[in-house]
Structure 1
Amino acid sequence: MKIAKKIFKWILYFLLIPITYIIVSLILSAITVDRKANNENFNKSIYLSTNGVHLYIVIPIKDVDSLVLSGIKHNGSENYLSFGWGDENFYLNTPTWGDLTFSNAFKAMFLKSATLMHVTRYKQKRTDWIEIKVNESELQKLNAYLQNTFDTNESGMKIILENKGYSSIDDFYKSKGSYSCFKTCNSWVNKGFKESGLKSCLWTPFDFGLLNKYK
């Protein structure tokens, strides 16, 4: 009987951790950090994109800072770049949810690991992107945030993983930082918005946290 009680207690502890994480995440996602700028010239556009799980920051190539653009594969017919950040092992070995394994998920969420920037090139704007008007200062801060996330070699150049993209229009680049359940692909986007002075969540690991602020 005592053994059964101990097993039941451990099961409760095991369930309590993810339940607490979800509750706290939802609460912090609902808390809005207001935009710093007011009544300014918001004459630039950026976009939020999601694949249903992962958020991406999309910027017209003409508004991508030259430092950010340097070393990124692109051509003259492409007009937009989307930027995402995440766990390297998860990105490369879990291209679809059908490839998800417990091992990959556990390593991404709880173990220190290398990360990548996922950059996708588009010729045209997609109808499902959410447009956000920004001013020049906000755009510059967002560009700086992106540039500071890329890792570089000894020559200061971005490090591309050749032939590792999912298609002909995307590539992976080495990045700084380690992924965890507290620093997810979506919290990375949210942090970029917050540091740029844009409306954001206090913290969120979910894509809908930030999306809901702009719907």
Structure 2
Amino acid sequence: MLLLLAALGALVFAYGAAGLVGGAFALNRGWTPPSEGVRIYVEDNGIHTSIVVPVAAEGVDWRDLVRPEDLRDPRFAAHSHLSIGWGDRGFYVGTPTWAELKPGTVLRAAVGSDDTVLHIGHLGEPAVQAGVRAILLRPAEYQRLADFIRSSFAIGADGRAGSVPGYGRSDAFYAARGRYTALRTCNSWTGEALRHAGVRMGAWTPFSATVMEWLK
């Protein structure tokens, strides 16, 4: 038993160290923010990172996929922005904060799951503060970001992704594409999305800190 615990401890340590190293090396090193463009945000609650985008900007309109009737209270759909994150359904739905984190949930997600979701909340434009960073994107960069996010929806024959209500009245979970593993976490997805847009970002970002470090 002691050997097993030692092996597990070593594995966790190695994973953490690898994640920090992967997050320390940036891609898109030459990227600089424009003087004007589309302002997006990245939020961090200590576990999950999310990308906050305008409901409609530069020809990108999310209302064909994200609709008022998906919410417990459709009035929240009148807000100007959407907070979007991706992850394993069990891990995402079950761990809104550290208080709900359970070892079994972590182990099941680490092994891998094809049951992934997009968590989308409706909100007003956020203020830059602890856990919230702003990024200004050129129109073409924002279009690439939107294309990446749209490709993560599991669109059905009716042109929509199945949804269920979220944590409260203003958010919902949508069926998503992609496999969640210890190598591709919710924060890895955020990093991928930003790299796809062209933003300077860590090469591998499995932890929220490895995303936010590049957005100071």
TM-score range, shorter chain: 0.7 to 0.9
CA RMSD of aligned residues (A): 2.2
Q: Which residue of 2 aligns with 1:91?
A: 92
The answer to whether the aligner puts 1:54 opposite 2:41 as a matched pair is no
Q: Which residue of 2 aligns with 1:208?
A: 209
The answer to whether the aligner puts 1:135 opposite 2:125 as a matched pair is no
Could you give the per-residue CA deviations for residues 173-211 of structure 1, whole angstroms, max 9, x where no partner exists? Answer: 000112111111101000001111111001011111121
Letter in 1 for 2:142: L
Classify 1:12/1:99 alpha carbon distance in 2 versus 1 (closer, same or farther; 3 Å). closer
Classify 1:42/1:105 alpha carbon distance in 2 versus 1 (closer, same or farther; 3 Å). same
Structure 1: gaps of 5 or more residues: 1-6
Tell me the TM-score normalised to structure 2 length.
0.86
Tell me the TM-score normalised to structure 1 length.
0.86
Letter in 1 for 2:102: T
Which range is displaced more, 30-39 or 76-85? 30-39
Classify 1:88/1:35 alpha carbon distance in 2 versus 1 (closer, same or farther; 3 Å). same
Classify 1:15/1:144 alpha carbon distance in 2 versus 1 (closer, same or farther; 3 Å). same
* Structure of larger gyration radius: 1
* Contact map agreement 1:107 1:113 (CA 8 A) in 2: no
Q: Which residue of 2 aligns with 1:26?
A: 20
Letter in 2 for 1:71: L
Residues matched between the structures, number: 206
* Contact map agreement 1:85 1:188 (CA 8 A) in 2: yes
Aligned partner of 2:37 among 31, 40, 43: 43
Which range is displaced more, 105-114 or 29-38? 29-38
* Contact map agreement 1:49 1:57 (CA 8 A) in 2: yes
Structure 2: gaps of 5 or more residues: 69-74
Q: Which residue of 2 aligns with 1:109?
A: 110
Task: State the 1:101 CA deviation.
Answer: 2.6
Task: State the 1:8 CA deviation.
Answer: 5.4
